[in-house]
Amino acid sequence: MRIAMAGNPNSGKTTVYNAVTGRMERVGNWAGVTIEKKEFPIKKEYYSGREELIAVDLPGAYSMSPYTSEESITSKYIKDEKPDVIINITDATNLRRSLFLTTQLLELGIPVVVALNKSDINESKKNKIDIEKLSVLLGCPVVKTVATENKGLKEMMEAAVSLFGKEQKAPYSEKGVNLSDKKSVEEADRKRFEFVDSIVSKVETRTVLTKEINKGDYIDAVLTNPVGGLVIFAGVMFLVFWISQAKVGPFLADTLVGWIETFQEYIGSLMAGSSPFLYALVVDGIIGGVGAVIGFLPLIMVMFFLIALLEDCGYMSRAAVVLDPIFKKVGLSGKSVIPFVIGTGCSIPAIMACRTIRNERERRSTAVLASFMPCGAKLPVIALFAGAFFSDETWVGPLMYFVGIALIFFGALLINAVTGYKNRKSFFIIELPEYKVPSLKVAFLSMLNRGWAYIVKAATIILVCNTAVQLMQSFTWSFDVVEVAGDSILASIAHPFAYLLIPIVGVLSWQLAAAAITGLIAKENVVGTLAVTFVGLQNLIDTEEFALMEGAGEDVAAVFAITKIAALAYLMFNLYTPPCFAAIGAMNSELRSKKWLWGAIGLQMGTGYTIGYLVYQIGTLVTTGSFGPGFVGGLIAVLVFAGVIIYLINNTKKKMASEYTLNTGTL
Amino acid sequence: MTLAEAEVCKDYIIKDVHIEDEDLSAFLFRLGCYAGENITVISRKNKNCVVAIKDARYNIDNHLAEAIIV
């Protein structure tokens, strides 16, 4: 038996779904958080009876005639898969909009339960809804719910279960509408809204009208002020990073790293008698490498917690409003800010969150650029280099974010030039949801959930990669144990790529090349691979940056045998090249165009390489008075990249010019 | 006149929505932004304004406000 959750965007479907299934799907206080169908068995405490009930969470929809890709998921599912019961989650504060979809759902014959969600907000506004009357008028059960506090959900479920196998009668049905005629459809929709209004006027009493100025409007006036709002946004984001990466995060990380070290020593003492190879594989490769990644968990979890609070309070749509005029100038949308903020946690949900952007070009550009924002997996890399080369100076981390933001703007302009952006009117509209006090519980659960995903990743992909790297560097192609590190399988594979890196790091280092390659699988691998491949380094890193022993930072730098400038360049190269294969997969599904996908990968590779090259060569010129090694080779690579872009831009210009003459010619 | 010229906190009835993009005009329709409905400008900034349509608030930019005739 399947129960589908359907309703307007931001009415609380996923909150209800999470409550009744015990799942922890992403929720947020803005329209369009859920973009895909999800299903899971409902917890037994919500119903009696032996048959298993499956809840199906659907993306928000305003109507059954779909016009966005998310809406079509919803209407297609309900029409084709025919769930046994529909729970229509409505926003009690906006019945006049919500019931439009309700009346359409009631026409399908599938039994419907209407949940008046956000009843608490509605009552705090002193609105009254006569639910008995509403239930009679709609011809279906109506239940008041407050999904965030788990109120009314049991009654809602019981009502749903009692309807199994029953037929739904429609209070309103439109007949004889010619669906191919736009006028006719609009006329029918207008009549439906009239019917909805007639119901609402019978059941709802409002003492405060929506059009009256309320408390939220005063907050909006401050938060969306064109100047003040920007300062506030910068301040909020700074606080998120400062707390997670300079204060609470590192404090917790210190403790965790202590535990990991103890564990590593313990296993080390158990394996004291075993072969050096096995010891190195388990203690240094597996525990050391994976531990290096796990050590960053507290920073990432604190950041996820804070971002979840931001997502929950209703601020995200205000941030979109403030940034829209700026983003619009470079061909993005104010809504692009949501993916960029989510991207500080992980690029994959960030790229998926682009779907709320209506304009296709703005959506694609945002998906391409979102991963320039350093994600959680890049934190260990930043911290390792900041610790090893810059004695943990505080400017390194923020600089990486600022460069990321600058690259987003620069990249957006490049995309405009290449795709032939015409300064067409792009309309902006975003719903401003009611502010609410963010739920600590939701933020905590979201933090645990995303933190757990990070641990799982460390215990699977990172573990496998580290083990593979350890094995590949321990053996030669004839499977003899390596005597000279440069003879290993890993060294021979990475060697050709090391030449490509000379213009960025100034030396031929297969270890750095190997780390950059494994970093494409998952960015945390950069740290793990460096820890494993540099002889002696694993003893110094001691699982990760915070454990860098007093003064050991310089020794690590000595092992890498590259200059500070090279370290900075190599770090940036790793941060701004594609984040990981999973993110490329997410881009593939969001961009829905091979041309865009390859363009995106090319842009990210080219940008990462160019910025690494410029930082190293210019930095070396400034510090030593001459360019570094590989200047000419790198220059050729960068010029080829620039040449391709210029060629593409010219091509587009020509095409646009010929289109223009074509258009004016036919006038 | 267009909504961009409308007075703040005064009720208006939408006369027409001039948008070529059919998807967008269908979207606005679902929100309740169509000829015959009420609309109120809650506040106004340089480049955008906040409007109340049915029982929700939306922020719209001036391009969109200019396309709504009241």
Average pLDDT over residues B45-70: 94
| CATH 3.40.50.300 domain range(s) in chain A | 2-206
- Taking only the tens place, the pLDDT of each residue in A128-157 is 999 999 999 999 999 999 999 999 999 999
Q: What are phi and psi of A335, to 5 degrees?
A: -65, -15
Inter-helix orientation angle A297-313/A228-242, to 10°? 150
pTM tops 0.80, yes or no: yes
Reply yes or no on whether the pLDDT at A658 is more than 90: no
pLDDT confidence of residue A157: 95
pLDDT confidence of residue A337: 95
Nearest to residue A224, comparing CAs of B69, B2, B49, B57? B49
Average pLDDT over residues A421-443: 86
pLDDT confidence of residue A665: 53
The CATH number linked to B62 is: 2.30.30.90
Nearest to residue A222, comparing CAs of A212, A233, A237? A233
Q: Reduced to 3 states, what is the DSSP secondary structure of residue A457?
A: helix
Residue A284 banded pLDDT, cuts 50, 70, 90 = confident
Distance in angstroms (rounded) separating the CA atoms of residues A20 and A22:
6
A428 vs chain B: nearest CA distance in angstroms?
A: 5
Query: Among A93, A186, A431, whose Cβ lies nearest the Cβ of B29?
Result: A186
Stretch among A504-508, A559-563, A594-598 having the lowest mean pLDDT: A559-563
Reply yes or no on whether the pLDDT at A89 is more than 80: yes
Reply yes or no on whether the pLDDT at A586 is more than 50: yes
More confident: A397 or A101:
A101
pLDDT confidence of residue A268: 86
**CA distances (Å), A621 to each of A565, A617, A627, A628, in order?**
10, 6, 5, 7
Pick the CATH number of A2-206 from 3.40.50.2300, 3.40.30.10, 3.40.50.300, 1.10.10.10: 3.40.50.300
Q: Which residues of A touch B64 (CB under 8 A)?
A: 427-429
**CA distances (Å), A217 to each of A212, A419, A433, B36, in order?**
9, 39, 11, 26
Residue A666 banded pLDDT, cuts 50, 70, 90 = very low
- Taking only the tens place, the pLDDT of each residue in A201-216 is 999 999 888 888 999 9
Phi-psi region of A584 (alpha: psi -120 to 50; beta: other; left: phi over 0): alpha
Average pLDDT over residues A181-197: 89
Paired tokens of A125: 């506004």
Residue in chain A lying closest to B50 (CA): A432
Reply yes or no on whether the pLDDT at A7 is more than 80: yes
- Taking only the tens place, the pLDDT of each residue in A383-399 is 888 878 887 778 888 89
Nearest to residue A365, comparing CAs of A336, A345, A385, A401? A336
Give residue for tokens 């280099």: A385
Average pLDDT over residues A45-55: 88
Phi-psi region of A593 (alpha: psi -120 to 50; beta: other; left: phi over 0): beta
Residue A546 banded pLDDT, cuts 50, 70, 90 = very low
Distance in angstroms (rounded) separating the CA atoms of residues B41 and B6:
7
Residue A527 banded pLDDT, cuts 50, 70, 90 = confident
Q: Reduced to 3 states, what is the DSSP secondary structure of residue A6?
A: strand
| Beta strands at B16-17 and B68-69: parallel, antiparallel or unpaired | antiparallel
Q: Do A429 and B58 touch (CB under 8 A)?
A: yes
Nearest to residue A308, comparing CAs of A450, A410, A419? A450
Q: What is the dihedral of CA B11, B12, B18, B23, to 10 degrees?
A: 40
CB A543 within 8 A of CB A552: no
CB-based contact, B20 to chain A, within 8 Å: no
Reply yes or no on whether the pLDDT at A614 is more than 90: yes
**CA distances (Å), A448 to each of A52, A303, A441, A451, in order?**
27, 12, 10, 5
CB A104 within 8 A of CB A63: yes
Query: Among B52, B54, B63, whose Cβ lies nearest the Cβ of A425?
Result: B63
Q: Do B59 and A429 touch (CB under 8 A)?
A: yes
Residue in chain A lying closest to B57 (CA): A432
Paired tokens of A446: 């979201």
Inter-helix orientation angle A510-521/A524-533, to 10°? 150
Distance in angstroms (rounded) separating the CA atoms of residues A550 and A202:
74
CA neighbours within 13 Å on the CB side: how many for A367? 33
- Taking only the tens place, the pLDDT of each residue in A35-48 is 899 999 999 999 88
- Taking only the tens place, the pLDDT of each residue in A352-373 is 999 888 888 899 999 999 999 9
Residue A535 banded pLDDT, cuts 50, 70, 90 = low
Q: What is the DSSP secondary-structure string of A515-560? A: HHHHHHH-THHHHHHHHHHSTTHHHHHTTSGGG--TTHHHHHHHHH
CB-based contact, B7 to chain A, within 8 Å: no
Q: Which residues of A touch B4 (CB under 8 A)?
A: none
pLDDT confidence of residue A561: 82
Q: Over chain A, what is the mean pLDDT?
A: 88
Q: Do B59 and A430 touch (CB under 8 A)?
A: yes
Nearest to residue A533, comparing CAs of A558, A555, A559, A557? A559
Residue A423 banded pLDDT, cuts 50, 70, 90 = low
A378 vs chain B: nearest CA distance in angstroms?
A: 35
Q: What is the share, in percent, of chain A residues with pLDDT greater than 70? A: 95
Give residue B31's domain range.
3-69
Residue A468 burial (C-beta neighbours within 10 Å; 0-12, 13-18, 19+): middle
CA neighbours within 13 Å on the CB side: how many for A486? 5
A6 vs chain B: nearest CA distance in angstroms?
A: 16
CB A474 within 8 A of CB A481: yes
Residues in CB range of A72: below 8 A, 6 or more apart:
A66
Average pLDDT over residues B36-42: 95
Q: Of A24-38, A291-305, A461-475, which has the strongest mean pLDDT?
A: A24-38
Task: Give, for A392, the enclosing helix (H) or strand (E).
Answer: none
Reply yes or no on whether the pLDDT at A549 is more than 60: no
Count structural domains, chain B: 1
Residue in chain B lying closest to A429 (CA): B60
For an interface test with B, give the residue of A429, A432, A435 to mutate (most B CBs within 10 A): A429
pLDDT confidence of residue A656: 83
Residue B17 banded pLDDT, cuts 50, 70, 90 = very high
CB-based contact, B62 to chain A, within 8 Å: no
Tell me which residues of chain A, numbers 143 to 182, contact chain B at a CB-CB cutoff of 8 Å: 182
Reply yes or no on whether the pLDDT at A550 is more than 60: no
Q: Which amino acid belongs to residue A301?
A: M
Distance in angstroms (rounded) separating the CA atoms of residues A569 and A37:
42
